[in-house]
Amino acid sequence: MNIFRLIKILHTFANYRVKDLLPKHKSKKRVHFLRALSPLALKGKKCNNDPEKLRKALEELGPIFVKLGQVLSTRPDLIPAEITSELAKLQDDVEPFAWTEARGFIEDQLEQPLDEIFNSIDEKPLASASVAQVHAAELKDGREVVIKVLRPGIKKMVKRDLELMRSVAKIARTFGNPGVQVDPVEIVEEFEKTIYHELDLQREAANASVLRKNFIDSKDMYIPEIYWEYCKEKVMVMERIYAIPIGKIDRLKAANVNLQVLAEKGLRLFYTQVFRDNFFHADMHPGNIFVNTSNPEDPQIILLDFGICGSLPKEHKRDLANNFMAFFNQDYRRIAELHIEAGWVPADTRVDELEAEARTICEPYFARPISEISFGEVMLKTFEMARKFQLVIQPEFILLQKTLLNIEGLGRQLYPQLDIWQTSKPVLANIMKKSYGIDGAIETIKQNLPTWLEQTSEIPQLVHELLSQRTKPATKLQQIEQAKILRYKHYRENKKTYAILTSGFAIVTAVLYGLQADSGMPFGMTKPVIVGLAITLVFLYKSLKK
């Protein structure tokens, strides 16, 4: 362990009086311990409030601690709201590292001289963050690209600071506070997963590739192309885009962009990612969203930085959509039932108690105009039930809630009159209809039909093998009687099997006939329908034959 770095961390926390965020009745002797290691911290640095003390301390400790603060700002289920709000102000812009160092690192990753790949590279980075920096370049074939490269030695730095964070977390854990369900060690472990994911640029490239496929023909959203031949764990090359950052509202207005259309489109696209594709960009802050203004009345959204993406367990996607619909219908009983059915609370939770808690949390929202209601805030309020009902909060839900707050906040910044519900409801209803209505049922049948047919063809053989199993040798008379019994059982089982097959193929034939009608084909006996009907009649005959 780097003891001098640890002392620096403790000194900084003491200097900013971070102890003021801890329970007052237990903090005194620990603060004396911190001050003994940092005698220059007696006066402390002035801040407006306690959360600001933590933010400034993290900023002073450097890039990895800034990244930790950013991660903590997305955990409103663990950290008080006033602290998460302050930590959300943390900026990730840091001093760039030298081009000579970056060049050698890129060449080492790509295993060939850069002059053989690129016509030119801008030595001045377009952006520089705690984990990586980005340079503009041009490939030999003239395509304009950007090169994202990790900071040399970043993994070693992360490993060092993570070890020290664990040490500080263990010290903080000794304070204890039964009223707050926060384990500092658990927070550090969660941060470790996040930061190591961001250190794998090949993973980020894969995330971008999936999103691009999901919106490949979309005029509403564009994902830059990934050039896989130049993507490694520590280097990524992708298409360069020219657009206006969505946070530059003055420039968007100057370009005559329809801000209402842009705000509503951003919200709809996010719900499409979540409920249609079940794969969403989970770091959609203004720095990662750009706008193509070539058609100002129908602007196109461009996403960047795909290090953090999320998805929901398949069954929870529907549960979440149903919860949103139940909330806006003010059906608190249904909200309680959905939480229990989804396994988000213990199975023995009383529905009436959970219903009352949901009503207490949600009802105040309906005292204000529905256009001011936020899904992200509703999810945040739902997390408040965690302490009382031991709510099990999936990490994916935290990502979703954080991103949803970002999108809604940005949407209302673009267009203050944005009605979250009126914009979201049609998207939710349409996606749920396609996924869980008759269209979804037909699509499921189409996908599973080959498997069902394959399994169905094996049923007679399986039944035959089961009935053909012989018992131990018996007397001649017993053998005759057993043979009669087996033949009768075999006869009955065969009739049952043929009856099941008849029903199955009758259903399949009906579905094929219905799909033919839905596709706009003229009614008639197409070949698949004829084959299905013939097989159905054969099995019907065998099921009735004596």
For the question of residue 518 being annotated catalytic, the response is no
Contact in structure between 413 and 434 (CB atoms under 8 Å): no
Of these residues, 50, 77, 161, 283, which one is catalytic? 283
As a whole number of angstroms, the distance between CA 259 and CA 252 comes to 8
Q: How far apart are CA 86 and CA 70, in angstroms?
A: 10
> How many Cβ atoms are within 10 Å of 65's Cβ, its own excluded?
20
Element (H, E) at 301: strand 300-303
Kindly tell me the sign of the dihedral angle through the C-alpha atoms of 480, 483, 489, 494: negative
What element of type H or E holds 148?
Answer: strand 144-150
For residue 457, how many C-alpha atoms fall within 13 Å in the half-sphere facing its CB?
A: 6
Helix orientation angle between 184-198 and 154-173, rounded to the nearest 10 degrees: 170
Q: Taking a C-beta distance cutoff of 8 angstroms, is the pair 275, 269 a contact?
A: no
Based on C-alpha coordinates, what's the Rg of the chain? Answer: 31
Which DSSP category does 354 fall into?
H
What span, in angstroms and rounded, lies between the C-alpha atoms of 87 and 76?
Answer: 11
Residue with tokens 């399986």: 462
One-letter amino acid at 432 equals M
d(CA 384, CA 322): 20
| Among the listed residues 244, 224, 245, 246, the one whose alpha carbon sits nearest the alpha carbon of residue 236 | 224
**Lookup result for tokens 């620096």:** 8
Residues 58 and 70: beta-carbon distance below 8 Å:
no
CB 283 within 8 A of CB 410: no
> Which DSSP helix (H) or strand (E) runs through 309?
strand 309-310
Dihedral of alpha carbons 313, 315, 318, 320, sign: negative
**CB under 8 Å to 398, separation ≥6 — which residues?**
74, 75, 76, 77
Please name the helix (run of DSSP H) or strand (run of DSSP E) that holds residue 235, with its range, or none.
strand 235-239
Q: What is the 3-state secondary structure (H, E, C) of 468-517?
A: HCCCCCCCHHHHHHHHHHHHHHHHHHHHHHHHHHHHHHHHHHHHHHHHHH
Annotated active-site positions, please?
283
